[in-house]
Structure 1
Amino acid sequence: MITSLFFLAVMFLGVPIGVCLCLSGMVYILDTNAPVLFESFASQMFGGVDSYGLIAIPLFILIGEIMGSGGITRRLVDMAMAFVGSVRGGLAYVNILANMMVSSIIGSATAQVAIMSKIMVPEMEKQGYDKTFAAGVTVYGGMLGPIIPPSVMFVVYAVLAQVAVGDMLTAGILPGIVLTLLFFVVIAIMGLIYNYPRSEKRSLRERARTAITASPTLLIPIVIVGSILGGLANATEAAAVGAVAAALVGRYITREFRYSMVPAILLRSAIYSAIVLFLVAAAAVFSWLLIYGKVPQAAAEWIQTVAKDPVSFLLITNVILLVIGTVIDGIPGLIMTVPILLPIATDVYHIDPRHFGVVVVVNLVLGLMSPPVGLSFFVAAAVTGAKPGKMFVVTLPFFLICCVALVLLSLFPSLSLALLN
């Protein structure tokens, strides 16, 4: 109890979540009068990041930084606009479709929202869309970032759950496609109701020219995802090749990436990677102390009194994670919940850990779009000037369809496991 109160107190004071976890662990050791655990504290933290799979994280972050600097994102948006921009609500479709393509390179929801808000929202405003709606659609498009590979959250989950990183990245492909199609349905219905504008229709020659210009940028996701699905490389190796491909495309095809940018790109990548990896190290200590305190066993006993089968367990988990995700960012949410819930899911209800991982990640990402925090809305607000609360209200149908997607993922494991099987 003392440890829980201390953790909540320092978290609401604004202390970074990784520091919260480490300090709470020390308080727990003192509270249980087990100072011998201090001797293993540092080794547990080091062991948490002593994993080959985690090398993929800084590499995926590096790919996103190179892509943003090399003009690759803008060309992907142009290609999406050429093919679906002329239908009613076309730029909203373009927003989601471009986010889907960019997701296969960036892998971070907040980073993707920041990048795409700068590109899409001004263009949608010019075409007559409400700025609040444009920013809100961009936020939900950014939700695809941690789901469609590569995904930093899937890499962290794979390490926490001790499953193959490549399996987790593959498991996110179909859910990402399903979510994209559901977003299209929402846009189609809202487009009819609110009479969204159409963009100017492009000729077949213009579409072909745009596709030819942008097609080399598709080499990056093809190299990353194709090498993993084809068994040619694991996730870490694919990320390394993807980083080289991004640099070559940016330097010799788009011609916007310059070698003088490398020091700044490496610095930004290193800072963000250090933050993520410190969270993983803190998670190792947190998980170790949870097991020592038999917290998973106690949670399992309580959940079994409520959930009688795997589906009911997943639905209860969805509610719990959605509440947690509204106040805590995605990766810290993984760190706090996976050590407790995963053993229950696999040992008690015999749920495939990869399927469970997809449900958890989608749920926590949805928390980024949920009040009272809604971090992604605040990121979009900072870039566009739209009001976060109004964004949530205007795009409420997208939130509801995400909840439907979560139920579908919970009921049908094949949505996550089909490509693996």
Structure 2
Amino acid sequence: MTILVIFLFIFFLLIGIPISLVLGMTTVVYFFTAGNFVLMDSTPQRLFSGLDNFGLLAIPLFMLTGELMNGGGITSRLVIFARVLVGHVRGGLAYVTVIANMFLASILGSANAQAAMMSKVMVPEMEKEGYKREFSAALTLASSIVAPIIPPSMIFIIYGTLSGTSIGGLFMAGIIPGIIFGIGFTALIAFLGYKYNFPRSERASAKVIWQSAINVLPAMLVPVIITVGILTGAFTATESAAVACFIAFIVGKFFYKELDWRKLPTILVNTVISTATVTFLIAMANIFGWMIAFEQIPQLIAKSMLSVSESPFVFLFLVNIFLLLIGTVLDGIAALIILVPVLMPLVTHFQIDPIHFGVIICINLTIGLLTPPVGTGLFIVSSIAEVRFEKLVRATMPLLLLGIAILFIITYWQDAVLFIPRLLGL
């Protein structure tokens, strides 16, 4: 029966059915072929229970925050500020792309949304200044993987909900890894900039830098309030999402005055569509995981991994390789929902900190956005930036390899992840 499930799963994926429907269809076919109609009767209740979690409420609220910030003119001001700071050095616009993505990561928390938004803004600008279009698109995509690492993070919320791990602790744990990614990408740009003689812009005057800094301050209120609020215990990570929505609306409407009332219906519709997509996927993945548990697949995987080695270092290496392979064919959120219940017993067995493991698995599956053949980020940026898929894949390879190298550094350098959570007692 397990072989049938695997075959159907792969077949449905290959013929292009959306992953959420693949998960649901595979589960229903399994129940029918197994003749287990008792499980079939319980499926609607299981679908609901998979979404009946307070932590998941943060997802639509953070999505609404991102839409409000984008509609309120925050994105353009962050990009302008980054350009004023570093635009004059060689490869300046490439640095701007990385820095702007780090700023936006603290607002959007979704790599796909960030890659789509930044592709519209930065790729044409970089091409005008003399960068190759495929490199511009690849850098925009690769630097967007910091989005699920720097708080707030949708993927951390889902992992925390599934594993019972502190979402606030995960948010704080993502700060240093996000900075490491930023440093890694800027170092690679510096090397490529001197090798290929990247262009540079004019140096901004001190007056322009000061004005830009003042102008961007309201935009930084959202991440600051979220971080300070969680650190001080003023509100939970979920409650911080509601506060962020309110602040984003105030900033966009009354500070920048770009959030017109006529934009609100579009903002709300976009939020509803994005939320429905994610929650439907979570519900389908929940019943798929239920089926996997019924087939005792987690126990089989656990036995096979334990038979290789009892060392936590070897376990983490095997998990990283396994997740990198999974990320080439499966959407990150779907993989997270399916695999966390499978892997958490092993995490407990090897006495690995669940916050550290959460950062590892979330970074790993986010890297899947860059990996062919099913890297969703590749398809999104290829379409928006109008770059051939094959050219984009080739241009992304150095950045992908760098991302994997940083992943392994974070895997075995535990203090880089846990320093801030431990400092704060999370």
TM-score range, shorter chain: over 0.9
1:43 corresponds to which residue? 45
Mapping of residues 8-407 of structure 1, within 5 Å: 8-346=10-348, 348-407=349-408
Following superposition, the deviation at residue 285 of structure 1 comes to: 1.7
Contact 2:106 2:223 in 1 (8 A): yes
Contact 2:370 2:396 in 1 (8 A): no
Bigger mean CA offset, 133-142 vs 5-14:
5-14
2:402 is aligned with what amino acid? I
2:99 is aligned with what amino acid? L
With normalisation by structure 1, the TM-score equals: 0.96
The one-character-per-residue Cα deviations of 1:87-127 (angstroms, maximum 9, x if unpaired) are 11111111000000001111111111111111111211222
The one-character-per-residue Cα deviations of 1:260-297 (angstroms, maximum 9, x if unpaired) are 21122111101111111122222222222222222111
The one-character-per-residue Cα deviations of 1:303-345 (angstroms, maximum 9, x if unpaired) are 1122331111111111111111112221112122222222222
Contact 1:60 1:243 in 2 (8 A): yes
Distance 2:13 2:216 in 1: 45
Contact 1:60 1:239 in 2 (8 A): yes
1:79 is aligned with what amino acid? F
Contact 1:70 1:256 in 2 (8 A): yes
2:274 is aligned with what amino acid? Y
Following superposition, the deviation at residue 234 of structure 1 comes to: 0.8
Following superposition, the deviation at residue 172 of structure 1 comes to: 1.5
Bigger mean CA offset, 351-360 vs 235-244:
351-360
2:411 is aligned with what amino acid? S
Distance 1:287 1:164 in 2: 22
Contact 2:19 2:331 in 1 (8 A): no
Distance 1:320 1:143 in 2: 19
Question: 3-state DSSP class of the match of 1:377?
Answer: helix
1:376 is aligned with what amino acid? G
* Structure 2 gap segments, 5+ residues each: none
Distance 1:145 1:417 in 2: 19
Following superposition, the deviation at residue 230 of structure 1 comes to: 2.5
Question: 3-state DSSP class of the match of 2:97?
Answer: helix
- Give the length in aligned residue pairs: 420
1:401 is aligned with what amino acid? L
2:42 is aligned with what amino acid? S
Bigger mean CA offset, 388-397 vs 248-257:
388-397
Contact 1:85 1:201 in 2 (8 A): yes
Distance 1:21 1:136 in 2: 30
Distance 1:236 1:80 in 2: 29
Distance 1:370 1:395 in 2: 9
Bigger mean CA offset, 110-119 vs 372-381:
372-381
Bigger mean CA offset, 356-365 vs 50-59:
356-365
1:418 corresponds to which residue? 419
Identical residues among aligned pairs (%): 41
Distance 1:417 1:222 in 2: 20
Contact 1:224 1:242 in 2 (8 A): yes
Distance 1:367 1:319 in 2: 12
Question: 3-state DSSP class of the match of 1:196?
Answer: coil
Following superposition, the deviation at residue 219 of structure 1 comes to: 0.7
Following superposition, the deviation at residue 217 of structure 1 comes to: 0.8
Cα RMSD (Å) of the superposition?
Answer: 1.5
Contact 2:174 2:417 in 1 (8 A): yes
Following superposition, the deviation at residue 187 of structure 1 comes to: 0.8
Distance 1:49 1:43 in 2: 10
Following superposition, the deviation at residue 64 of structure 1 comes to: 1.0
Contact 1:307 1:316 in 2 (8 A): no
1:31 and 1:344, CA in 2 relative to 1: closer, same or farther beyond 3 A?
farther
Distance 1:192 1:307 in 2: 45
Contact 2:286 2:338 in 1 (8 A): no
Distance 1:400 1:293 in 2: 36
Distance 2:352 2:60 in 1: 30
Bigger mean CA offset, 378-387 vs 235-244:
378-387
Bigger mean CA offset, 16-25 vs 93-102:
16-25
2:163 is aligned with what amino acid? A
Contact 1:296 1:344 in 2 (8 A): no
Contact 2:173 2:420 in 1 (8 A): yes
Question: 3-state DSSP class of the match of 1:373?
Answer: coil
Following superposition, the deviation at residue 39 of structure 1 comes to: 2.9
Contact 1:171 1:354 in 2 (8 A): yes
Contact 1:100 1:148 in 2 (8 A): yes
Question: 3-state DSSP class of the match of 1:185?
Answer: helix
Distance 1:311 1:190 in 2: 33
Contact 1:89 1:191 in 2 (8 A): yes
Following superposition, the deviation at residue 27 of structure 1 comes to: 2.6
